[in-house]
Amino acid sequence: MSARHPPDVAKQIAAPRFIKPCLAKLAHAPPSGANWLHEIKYDGYRVQARIDSDGSVSFTTRNSLDWTGRFRALAGEFKKLKVRNTLIDGEVVVQDEKGASSFTRLVAELKAGRSEAMLFYAFDLLFLDGHDTRSLRLADRKELLATLLSKLPKASRLRFSQHFDEDGGSLLAEVCKLGLEGIVSKRADLPYRSGRCGDWLKLKCIHTDEFVIGGYTDSTAMKEAIGALLLGYFEHGALVYAGRVGTGFSHATAHHLWRELQGLRRASSAFALRLTADQVRNAHWVKPELVAQIEYRSRTADKLVRHATFRALREDKPAREIGPPDV
């Protein structure tokens, strides 16, 4: 099968509900060479959109959660494609007033039960009209995807994720100047492979990772509100302390988090190692079940986050899957 000539119709098969996604490894410098292409890194939820044989549309997160009902306003955009048994890999985002994707705004829309402001940026095509396209080179898959989406009106909320063949370092520098999250560099000459195999690399302007909430402190300014969260991650089955985050909470978020954590209270710390007096000061312990997305500048020699800011809770990632940050 080539990008210009799909295979014979007789070879059509039903697209699976979900395919384990190709995941990007963190890199500290953009790769060079003609075999790499570079895309803007979006700050949203990784989602696969499936168009079934009857034309119905479903959405599945990277951890195989069915979020069709949460993204219902996007379904109509996919129905306009007039294809069947098709699986598209991409990112659901909400943009801020500058046109940058904002995870905080996306979470707010989800919490309110709205999806009208959401956009779907499509960056890969795994099945097309019953044909498994994963064996094609990425460059060919993107060519097919661009052709498919070119039939949509410019105002569509289903959009093609443009890529750049230019030097990755120059693109990353420009992206960081614009205040965006970073770039993803991908091997243009390889098939789609599930897992974190190094075919895709992510380069960040600022570190953003998920951490498990192991405790909290009360706000000194408001009643029934959190002041800070105690963070951790799982390593070899043990919860490792990763520091505190005490900024990034609106008044409403501080109250909401406090209420969410009350049902998870426990008498003792779930962290594997004994914490220092400073680390446990005024702490309330909780079961390590909630996951927070945190932005931070760096980590100390003790691997604690520095200059951390709370972004949002992650509902799509189980706490037990949160391992050590890449940095």
Catalytic sites, residue numbers: 41
* Strand runs labelled E in 5-140: 25-26, 36-40, 45-51, 57-61, 86-93, 119-128, 131-132
Is residue 207 within a helix (H) or strand (E), and if so which, with residue range?
strand 207-218
SS3 246: coil
Please say whether the beta carbons of 77 and 136 come within 8 A.
no
Token reading at 146: 């661009």
3-state secondary structure of 279: helix
Q: Which residue has the tokens 């949203």?
A: 44
The values of phi and psi at residue 171, to 5°, are -65, -45
The amino acid occupying position 107 is: V
What single-letter amino acid sits at 35? N
Structure tokens of 218? 């009360």
The CA distance from 13 to 87, in Å, is 12
| Integer Cα distance of 291 and 315 in angstroms | 7
Are the beta carbons of 319 and 290 closer than 8 angstroms?
Answer: yes
Strand pairing class (131-132; 119-128): antiparallel
